[in-house]
Amino acid sequence: MGFERDVVVIGGCGHVGLPLGIALADRNLTVTLFDINASSVDLVLAGQMPFLENGADPLLRKTVADGMLTATTDPSVVSTAENLVLVVGTPVDDHLNPEPQKVLSAVQALVPHLTDGQLLVLRSTLYPGVTALVEQLVERLDVSVDVCFCPERIAEGHALTELFELPQIVSGRKAAAAERADKLFRHLTEKIVHLSPEEAELAKLFVNTWRYTRFAIANQLYMIANDFGIDFERIRSALTEDYPRAADMPGPGFAAGPCLLKDTMQLAAFNNNNFVLGHASMMVNEGLPNYLVSRLERRFDLGELTVGLLGMSFKAGSDDIRDSLSYKLKRILKIKAQRVLCTDPYVTVDTDLVPIETVLEESDLLIVCAPHKQYREVHTNVPIIDIWNLRGEGVVV
């Protein structure tokens, strides 16, 4: 049958769906973003990004103006496209247990709008086995819909570069489903890698767990050096210089955001919580704010100080505060310090933030929490704690 449009992205105005929708529309596919967030839909229709994403603003304006990209809160639009891309992933609960039923509930909500001949692409992180559960759910319906899992691989802030440059993983249990997904994503890249659904589910978890573990190793090595009063960055710079086997050693810093911890804990749950390395990585990375405060208490009388936190997003150049460890540090310091002031040049959703001028004027101690480039040139007479070494002054605390 014929369809009115090429693609509907479900959950399409978020950090995963919107860049994908823009990229596909820029490659001359007609794309509609379906999202329940009416304010985000209104922003997209006005050609405005709801969040920061490098290079997205002009492409969004262009694709909306050209009529290739639109957005709606009306779920009936799901029935109008050949390709459906669902960007709802598996979350974890407050106890870090996976909630795979969330994806199934999202698919169930689409059932009244599914139509013969559609391709349903599962896009976000899935707990292993969820693709099979979705396939079983769809097979019980009185419609013919192909299902595949094609995990997103982008780094937030670099989506509209990486969508076109990185290989795309495609998995489909049926050859026809895999071929259709292959055809869809070849609009973005010629580099397609085929896996089974279970392999693709684990591949997504493995890569984020790998990154999270690497950051934990760097943070643990930092703590070891720091406890002996040695600048870890001097060691790291020396051992990585023209030495390929250590070239990828990261520096210390807050390993946070909406994916790394979550996916590491999903992998642990999948392996019956027999994942010592993953749990140890969580203890190191999540413990870094506590470690910093304990070190600061040795040097300063925190109870008499106003502490300023520079940067509240979870990474440099971002406005995304989801699971940011800056807020964990803030909670600890609210107990330990006389006063805590926070600032961020990008974050707009936190009404407690104050201008950087206020933080610099009123703080007795500053901590670089997110290594935004603006903080490289901050001039002040008070101590600055900078474990990222953004300012090039070392990382000893």
Rounded to whole angstroms, the Cα distance separating 122 from 43 reads 25
Helix axes 101-110, 130-139, angle to 10 degrees: 30
Query: 22 lies in a domain?
Result: yes
User: What pLDDT sits at residue 89?
Assistant: 85
- Structure tokens given for 299: 């040097």
In this predicted model, what pLDDT tens digit does every residue of 246-279 receive, in sequence order? Answer: 999 999 999 999 999 999 999 999 999 999 999 9
Helices then strands, each counted (H, E), the chain: 13, 12
What's the mean pLDDT in 220-234? 98
- For 92-104, what is the mean pLDDT? 90
Give 293-321 pLDDT, tens digit per residue. Answer: 999 999 999 999 999 999 999 999 999 99
Give the pTM.
0.94
Q: Which of 138, 163, 195 is the last residue of a domain?
A: 195
pLDDT category at 397 given cuts 50, 70, 90 is very high
Considering the domain architecture, whether residues 113 and 220 belong to the same structural domain is answered as no
Query: Which residues sit opposite 195 in a β-bridge?
Result: 171
Number of structural domains in the chain:
2
- Same domain? For 88 and 237 the reply is no
Indicate the residue among 195, 224, 242 that finishes a domain: 195
346-394: per-residue pLDDT in tens? 999 999 999 999 999 999 999 999 999 999 999 999 999 999 999 999 9
Q: Is residue 390 part of a domain?
A: no
Same domain, 189 and 299: no
- The verdict on 339 and 250 lying in the same domain is yes
Domain range for 77:
5-195
Q: What angle do CA 309, 313, 316 make, to 5 degrees?
A: 95
Q: Which residues contact 159 (CB under 8 A, 6 or more apart)?
A: 15, 19, 20, 23, 53, 56
Same domain, 148 and 231: no
How far apart are the two ends of the chain, measured CA to CA in Å?
65
What are the structure tokens assigned to 333, written together? 């310091």
Q: Is residue 183 part of a domain?
A: yes
Residue 155 maps to a domain = yes
- 221 falls within a domain: yes
Structural domain contains residue 396: no
Q: Work out the pLDDT band at 1, boundaries 50, 70, 90.
A: low
Task: Give the C-alpha separation, 267 to 56, whole Å.
Answer: 32
Residues 209 and 189 in one domain: no
| Shared domain check, 188 and 161 | yes
* Residue 92 · residue 98 · CB < 8 Å: yes
Quick check: is 391 in a domain? Answer: no
Q: Do 373 and 250 share a structural domain?
A: yes
What is the spatial distance between Cα 170 and Cα 271, in angstroms, rounded to a whole number?
24
Residue 334 sits in a domain whose CATH number is: 3.40.50.720
- Confidence band of 94 (pLDDT split at 50, 70, 90): confident
Residue among 88, 87, 22, 19 nearest 52 (CA) = 19
Contact 163, 142 (CB under 8 A): no
When pLDDT is averaged across residues 95-114 and rounded to a whole number, the result is 93
394 in any annotated domain: no
Q: Do 242 and 342 reside in the same domain of the chain?
A: yes
Single residue among 137, 162, 195 that ends a domain in this structure: 195
